[in-house]
Chains A and B, each alone.
Chain A
Amino acid sequence: MNRPIRQLAGAVFASFAVLVAAVTYHQVIVGPEYRDDPRNVRVATSQAGRERGTIITADGVVVAESEADPDDPQVFRRSYPEGSLYGHTVGYTTLLFGSKGVESTNSDDLVSYRDATISGVLGALVGGDVRPRGLRLTIEHELQAVAHEALGNQRGAVVALDPATGAILAMVSTPDFDPNTLTGLDAGPTGTALEDDTSQPLLNRATAASYAPGSTFKVITTAAALEAGVASAGTPFPNPVELELPGSTATISNFDGQACGPGTEVPLSVAFTRSCNTVFGMLGMEVGAEQLVGTAESFGFNAEVPLEIPSIPATIPAAETFEFDVPGVAQTAIGQRDVLATPLQMAMTAAAVANGGEIMVPYLVQEVFNSEGVVEESTEPLLWLQATSPAAATALSGLMENVVTSGTGRRASVPGIRIGGKTGTAEVPGGAPHAWFAGFGPVDAGPEDPQIAIAVLVESGGDAGEAATGGTVAAPIAQLVFAEFFGVGQE
């Protein structure tokens, strides 16, 4: 009778061996995947209630802090004193809705190591600093506030950055939300309502949404033409009322339905100032798909943006998909068809022109400082892309300055400051157009002069609706931001 007992004992031990294999698989082999699964709230909850580092703006305004519970000094509560102003950029860290923004991407710096894990205890024993570190952002608080107020309750985004360093000076996306409401007691219903809101208040339109750039894309078309030697600022173009596109019945016309000013010919510089689609359609066809896409990509299209917080690339289809589609090339050249850009991309496009053709790596975190305020890490500016040649950048800044002094971008002008820019009114099938402005100032800045590049997007025309244009809706917003940056009283 012992033989069957031995056989069954063998089966039982084999079962335990399988259990050991299974526990090894789940805990050791795929364990890290389970741990990092977004539905696993353990990582977030292990930090919940613990002290987190302070986040301040470049000018020292506290935008995220942890305060000890008055009843229990071991328990901390995260709060965002500026409310919705930094909801998209600084983001939040919550139990129910995960984390977002810098709070999420720079979480490793912000967490406290004062805990009972082996490394925490050892760290405390050897006198290491277990308190969380803090972050100083590149954002200027007043600039952020002005941009936020200027957008008002229109849907859209404003991105401002320092062309010379890539430091983001302001980043606003509307509609927005107050991150404090996601950490409180009624976070559940509030968060669910935000997630279900069709206006997508949780979407950071500055970096994570892309739109047809419309005429702001003409900056890149012009750069392509200058680089390829196809045209220069003075090159004359025919001046029809309507551009007939070869091989199709489609036409391209100007915004006002007229020719690009008087005369039978018009120089490229005038066409740029007036944002004439007819001329840029022709220019695009001359430049060709390959050069157009190549230049767009050297400006950052189709590339992962190395910003801290999640950003989607601006996109342009590969040249071989539309190089023989001549109308398609013409429409792409005026920023329609399948071209899509984020507001961040258009701000970097303007920054490239301001910065001699170079695009710096954009960044939001300037410094990491320890609990005593001593700076431990500092972000050094880094070149990301050589978008275009210095000569082309100089030519483009002249063209863009004309837009603001005498063209479609007049409402972005600031007295006493040389501003350059380009407006855009991107047609949206079945809806009001998106209003764009991308620009910078001052033109021809000295090495010591503070400089700023801005992109403004107002989704679906904002308050102006169907009547919106980049010049009337987006440019005035940029003007307010410029004025604040240069300390100029508003007109």
Chain B
Amino acid sequence: MTRNAEAALLAAAAVVAAMGVALVNFAMGRGFDAQVALTFLVFAVSFGSIHMALRRWAPEGNPYLFPIAAFLTAIGFTEIYRLDPGLASIQRWSMLLAGGITTAVLLLLKDEGVVMLRRYRYLFLAGAVLLLLLPLLPESWPLHGAEVNGSRLWVRLELPVGTRSLSFQPGEVAKVLLVIFLASYLADRHLAMATTGRKLGPLRLPEPRQLGPILIAAGASFAVLVYQRDLGASLLLFALFITMVFVATGRAAYLVTGFVLVAGGGYFAYQQFDHVQRRVFAWLHPFDDFADAGYQIVQGLFALGSGSLTGSGLGLGRPDLIPAASTDFIFASVGEEMGFAGSIAVLAAYALLAAAGFGIAIRSRDVFRKFLAFGLTIVVAVQAILILAGVLRLFPVTGITLPFMSYGGSSLLANMVLVALLVRASHGERT
């Protein structure tokens, strides 16, 4: 039975994380301490509860998706622990929380499956827009937005005790809600959109009536994101909208239009935002402005180059030199300490994740599940590709997290739920 394979692979991922922590301790001269056992325990509890939920409520669901996610989480967690054990201990709490919420989501979907979500699409749309608006809350409120690195995409909740605060990135959760909305909307309208339409020169566009709500939703999301100056997330959501409409209608015109809009929007953003200009310059000429704009990219490249084939070894490199080493640039940190071998393993894991996700979409007979699986897969794949391309200097750095690997609770939670929806969608995918 495939769920046993899943259990074995998840246990293996927990061992990878615990071994990683042990190796870091060894390299740092810390010895064998409670961190190793604690890490194993948290992985076991978090992924174990999801696994038990799947056993009960989605026994035929794809058994490889969570092991891949767990493997990526383990590699990322090891590197986070190596960079800052304090962050790692927060990340462990995030893992427990994400495991709990993901289990709860599976419980919620136990009878009807993902199809249940289809009914509440405007609730999800409203939820997504609300989440995207949250960072704009004024600073004086207990729950307010916060600006980090020139982008206002954080929400902070000041706790009544002391000066502590809870921060989260609502955009990460919003992207999952938007996928559900789009899948549901397109499942109802795709036939109309694909068959009707009016000609505009060589292009055949659907009736505005059919496309209107999507355009409004898309426009609103981007407006919010552009206002928050989080262009990575803008780009990600844009890719999501365009590809989903393309899948629903089968018309390449949408891809072309989308590409033109992205190029135009990118040019506009370049003209309008200083921090975009900085990032583009840093991308094109990182070595010319090593001390300032190019510093992060060059440090990332230095890390990768110094890692070479087999890496410096856990705890023996200097990924701490890279700005945002545990978040946006975690891939460079892994590349330095685990080498080319580790980099390729990570890339392969993302490719496998995408392959499994697209497979679920292709095999699904129910059109909502098909769109849902496709949307969830494309959003995680494009997110990974965008930030990896930034680290590898194929594209300007967009400042989004690397799914599962980057430090951050919101991102981990959103992506765990995303994978849970994928697995649940694959349960009985042929019906």
Q: How far is the CA of A20 from the CA of B312 in the complex (A)?
A: 20
Please tell me if A34 contacts chain B, counting CB pairs below 8 Å. yes
Contacts of A23 in B (CB 8 A): 304, 335, 340, 343-344, 347, 392
Is A39 in contact with B339, judged by CB distance below 8 angstroms? no
- Contact of B90 with A by CB under 8 A: no
Mark contacts of B220-238 with chain A using CB atoms, 8 A cut-off: 1 yes-contact digit, 0 otherwise: 0000000000000000000
Which residues of A are found within 8 Å of B316, using beta-carbon distances?
46, 115-117
Indicate whether A250 reaches chain B with its CB closer than 8 angstroms: no
The B-contacting residues of A in range 22-73, CB under 8 angstroms, are: 22-24, 26-28, 30-35, 37, 39-43, 45-46
Stretch at the interface among B119-127, B381-389, B409-417: B381-389
Is A375 part of the contact surface with B, judged by Cβ < 8 Å?
Answer: no
Give the residues in chain A near B302, CB-CB below 8 Å.
34-35, 37, 39-40, 42
Is A33 within 8 A of B347, CB to CB? no
8 Å CB contact of A20 from B190, B309, B347, B382? B347
Find out whether the CB atom of B388 lies under 8 angstroms from the CB atom of A3. Answer: no
Residue A4 at the B interface, CB < 8 A? yes
Chain B nearest Cβ from A37, distance in angstroms? 7
Contacts of A1 in B (CB 8 A): 190, 247-248, 250, 367, 370
Partner of B394, one of A19, A31, A41, A46: A19
Chain B residues within an 8 Å CB radius of A115: 316
Min CB distance, B430 to chain A, in Å? 14
Known: A9-B355, A31-B308. A39 touches B250 (CB 8 A): no
Give the docked Cα–Cα distance between A395 and B64 (Å).
89
CB distance from A302 to the nearest CB of B (A): 33
- The answer to whether B388 touches A19, judged by C-beta atoms less than 8 angstroms apart, is yes
Number of residue pairs A-B, CB distance < 8 angstroms: 136
The smallest beta-carbon distance between A223 and chain B, in angstroms, is: 48
A28 to B308, CA, bound (A): 6
Stretch from A10-18, A81-89, A315-323, A397-405 at the B interface:
A10-18
Contact between chains at A4 and B306 (CB < 8 Å) = no
B246 with A4: CB separation less than 8 A: yes
Q: Tell whether A12 pairs with B343 under 8 Å between CB atoms, given A1-B250, A32-B305.
A: no
CB-CB under 8 A from A35, the residues of chain B are 302, 305-306, 308
A27, B248: Cβ atoms under 8 Å? no
> Min CB distance, A119 to chain B, in Å?
11
- CB of A19 within 8 A of CB of B392, answer yes
B393 close to A6 (CB less than 8 A): no
Q: In whole angstroms, what is the CA distance A76 to B307 when docked?
A: 25
Docked pose: A24 CA to B290 CA in angstroms: 23
A4 x B250 contact (CB < 8 A): yes
0/1 interface trace, chain B 382-405, chain A, CB 8 Å (1 if under): 100100110011100000000000
Residues of B within 8 A of A41 (CB): 318, 321
B351 interface hit (Cβ, 8 Å) = yes
Question: What is the CA–CA distance of A115 and B27 in the complex, to the nearest angstrom?
Answer: 9
Task: Please tell me if the beta carbons of B339 and A27 are within 8 angstroms of each other in the complex.
Answer: yes
A39 interface neighbour in B290, B310, B370, Cβ under 8 Å:
B290
B197 interface residue per 8 A CB criterion: no
Tell me if A8 counts as interface (CB < 8 A to partner B).
Answer: yes
A24-B340, A34-B305, A116-B26 known; A5 and B361 CB under 8 Å? yes
Q: Is the CB of A27 within 8 A of B354?
A: no
- Which of A5, A16, A74 has the most chain B CB within a 10 Å cutoff? A5
CA distance A474 to B36 in the complex (A): 68
Of B308, B313, B389, the residue contacting A116 (CB under 8 A) is B313
Check A31–B351 contact: CB distance below 8 A. Answer: no
**Does B88 sit at the interface, judged by CB under 8 A?**
no
By a CB distance below 8 angstroms, the chain B residues around A40 are 302, 305-306
Q: Is A2's CB within 8 Å of the partner chain B?
A: yes
Chain A residues closer than 8 Å to B309, beta-carbon distance = 27-28
Complex CA–CA separation, A118 to B316 (angstroms):
12
Q: A22 contacts which of B26, B351, B381, B394 (Cβ < 8 Å)?
A: B394
CA distance A244 to B312 in the complex (A): 69
- With A5-B247, A116-B313 as known contacts, state yes or no: A12 contacts B381, CB within 8 Å: yes
Chain A interfacial residues counted at CB < 8 A: 40
Interface residues of B in 268-282 (CB under 8 A from A): none
> Which A residues touch B318, using CB under 8 A?
41-42, 45-46
Give the chain A neighbours of B394 by CB distance below 8 A.
Answer: 18-19, 22
Docked Cα-Cα span, A24 to B350, in Å, equals: 17
A18 to B386 CA separation, bound complex (whole angstroms): 12
Q: Does B243 contact A (CB under 8 A)?
A: yes
Residues of chain A within 8 A (CB-CB) of B355 are: 9, 13
Q: CB within 8 A of B247: which of A8, A24, A34, A43?
A: A8
**Chain A residues with CB below 8 A from B247, complex form:** 1, 4-5, 8
Q: Do the beta carbons of A31 and B347 come within 8 Å of each other?
A: no
Q: Is the CB of B47 closer than 8 A to any CB of chain A?
A: no
Q: Is the CB of B306 within 8 A of A16?
A: no
Residues of chain B contacted by A42 (CB below 8 angstroms): 302-303, 306, 317-318, 321
CA distance A23 to B378 in the complex (A): 22
- Which B293-351 residues sit within 8 Å CB-CB of chain A? 298, 301-310, 312-313, 315-318, 321, 335, 339-340, 343-344, 347, 350-351
B354 touches A5 (CB 8 A): no
**Chain B residue at smallest Cβ distance from A3:** B250
Select the residue from A9, A26, A45 with max chain B CB neighbours within 10 A: A26
Please provide the chain B residues from 30 to 57 with a CB less than 8 Å away from any CB of chain A in the complex: none
Q: Which residues of B contact A8 (CB under 8 A)?
A: 243, 246-247, 358, 374, 378
Measured between C-beta atoms, what is the minimum distance from A109 to chain B in Å? 21
Q: Are A9 and B358 in contact (CB under 8 A)?
A: yes
Taking the closest CB of chain B, its distance from the CB of A47, in whole angstroms, is 11
Q: Which residue of A lies closest to B295 (CB)?
A: A39
* CA distance in complex: A117, B307 (Å): 12
Whole-angstrom CA separation of A35 from B305 in the bound complex: 6
Chain A CB within 8 A of B29 CB? yes
- CB-defined contacts of B315 to chain A, threshold 8 Å: 116
Q: Residues of B contacting A2 with CB < 8 Å?
A: 362
Q: Which residue of B lies closest to A117 (CB)?
A: B313
CB-based contact A13/B361 at 8 Å: no
Residue from the set B298, B302, B394 with the largest chain A CB neighbour count within 10 Å: B302
Q: Which listed residue (A5, A31, A45) contacts B305, Cβ 8 A?
A: A31
Residues of A close to B343: CB separation below 8 A? 23, 27
Assembled-state Cα–Cα distance A74/B26 (Å): 13
C-alpha gap A37/B381 in the complex (Å): 33
- Assess whether B304 is in contact with A27, with CB atoms less than 8 Å apart: yes
Q: Which residues of A contact B362 (CB under 8 A)?
A: 2, 5-6, 9
Cα-based distance from A135 to B298 in the complex (angstroms): 35
| Bound-complex Cα distance A390 to B421 (A) | 91
What are the residues of chain B within 8 A of A22 when measuring CB–CB? 389, 392-394
Bound Cα distance A26, B390 (Å): 13
A20 to chain B: which residues have CB within 8 Å?
Answer: 344, 347
Provide a sorted-by-A list of 10 A–B residue pairs whose CB atoms are within 8 angstroms: A5-B370, A9-B358, A12-B358, A23-B392, A34-B305, A35-B308, A40-B306, A42-B306, A45-B321, A74-B29
Closest 7 CB pairs of A and B: A34-B305, A31-B305, A22-B392, A9-B358, A40-B302, A27-B340, A16-B351
Chain B residues close to A by CB (< 8 Å): 26-27, 29, 190, 243, 246-248, 250, 290, 298, 301-310, 312-313, 315-318, 321, 335, 339-340, 343-344, 347, 350-351, 354-355, 358, 361-362, 367, 370, 374, 378, 381-382, 385, 388-389, 392-394
Known contacts A13-B354, A46-B316, then 19 further A-B pairs from the complex at CB < 8 Å, ordered by chain A residue = A1-B370, A5-B374, A9-B355, A12-B354, A12-B378, A13-B351, A16-B347, A20-B347, A23-B335, A23-B344, A26-B393, A27-B305, A27-B340, A27-B343, A31-B308, A32-B305, A34-B306, A42-B317, A74-B29
